[in-house]
Amino acid sequence: MIRWITAASAIVGASLLLSACLPSAPPTPKPEPEPPAPQASDARDCDAYIIPYMPFSVNSSQLFYAANVPNAWSGATSSPSSDISVDVIDDQGTHTSLGQVAVVAPQQVVKLTTPITQALDAQGVTSTKLALRIQATNPENLYIYSAYQTAADRAIVRVECVKE
């Protein structure tokens, strides 16, 4: 009986030693919860639209559009006209308000390029590197598009939605 206890002790001791030497299995990660599906109110209703970089020079051209889409497209409950105002900041940190540059009626697409460049000229902005903030009085159904082309480059610029 003593031998049996000794043998059992040896087996237990060996299994403890072996388990201490073997790497343990990594913990099973908990699955990440699925993010909620975006709702129309999450995707729109921006307080401002930021275009973080836009080149302005004799060798570049810009495109800015605003679309006030139908309610059925965005899930909004109304689609009023929207006054569009623009502020810019240049690469030296100078902030310039261009004021109201356009009005976008319901279910209309408006090219903002000419009103923005005319307002820049009227304010005497001559910088070749600008960031723009576009604000709208009724942003519920408003979408902004921006792009540029230079002699060596063409790019669609991501427009960031800012909610305050």
Three-state SS at 3 = helix
pLDDT greater at residue 7 or residue 131 = 131
Into how many domains does the chain fold?
Answer: 1
Indicate whether 58 belongs to any domain: yes
CA gap 55, 74 in Å, rounded: 31
Q: Mean pLDDT score of the chain, rounded to an integer?
A: 80
Closest by CA position to 141, among listed 110, 113, 106, 103: 106
Instruction: Name the DSSP letter for residue 141.
Output: G
pLDDT tens per residue, range 19-61: 555 555 556 566 665 544 433 334 466 889 999 999 998 889 9
Indicate whether 63 belongs to any domain: yes
CA gap 14, 18 in Å, rounded: 6
* Per-residue pLDDT, 110: 96
Q: φ and ψ at 7, to 5 degrees?
A: -65, -40
Range picked from 12-16, 113-117, 147-151, 152-156 for highest mean pLDDT: 113-117
Q: Does residue 144 register a pLDDT over 80?
A: yes
Indicate whether 31 belongs to any domain: no
pLDDT > 90 in the chain, percent: 51
CB 67 within 8 A of CB 107: no
* Per-residue pLDDT, 24: 58
| Of the candidate ranges 11-15, 37-41, 61-65, the one whose mean pLDDT is the lowest | 37-41
Structural domain range at position 67 = 43-162
We report the CATH number of the domain holding residue 53 as 2.60.290.11
Indicate whether 11 belongs to any domain: no
Indicate whether 20 belongs to any domain: no
Indicate whether 19 belongs to any domain: no
